[in-house]
């Protein structure tokens, strides 16, 4: 039989796994944006790697990169235009 502390640990692990959910679209956008500008915390980065799907972060990163390049091209064309 398990003692009370072992039962508590097993319950805590089970409860922790049950509460881990996929990040929402807004969470992915915030994470990619903060990483893009260089202010992503180590805690959030590790949470992203543990909970998120690599594919969703790659797609969001590509979209942010394309948007950044498009904005740069637009700004340069307005300034030189």
pLDDT in tens, 27-72: 889 989 998 888 888 888 888 888 878 899 999 999 999 999 999 9
Distances 69 to 48, 49, 72, 76 between C-alpha atoms, Å: 25, 26, 5, 11
The residue among 36 and 77 whose pLDDT is bigger is 77
Q: What is the pLDDT of residue 18?
A: 47
Q: What is the pTM of this model?
A: 0.64
> pLDDT tens digits, residue range 11-27?
555 555 445 678 888 98
Rounded to whole angstroms, the Cα distance separating 71 from 41 reads 26
Report the alpha-carbon distance of residue 77 to residue 80 in Å, rounded.
5
Q: Give residue limits of the domains in the chain.
A: 23-80
CB 17 within 8 A of CB 45: no
Q: What stretches of 1-81 show up as alpha helix (H) in DSSP?
A: 4-19, 25-37, 42-51, 54-80
């Amino acid at each position: 039989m398990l003692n009370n502390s072992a039962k508590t640990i097993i319950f805590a692990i089970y409860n922790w796994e049950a509460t881990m959910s996929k990040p929402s679209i807004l969470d992915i956008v915030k994470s990619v944006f903060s990483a893009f500008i260089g202010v992503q915390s180590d805690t959030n980065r590790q949470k992203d790697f543990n909970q998120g799907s690599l594919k969703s972060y790659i797609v969001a990163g590509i979209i942010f990169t394309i948007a950044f390049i498009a904005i740069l091209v637009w700004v340069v064309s307005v300034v030189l235009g």
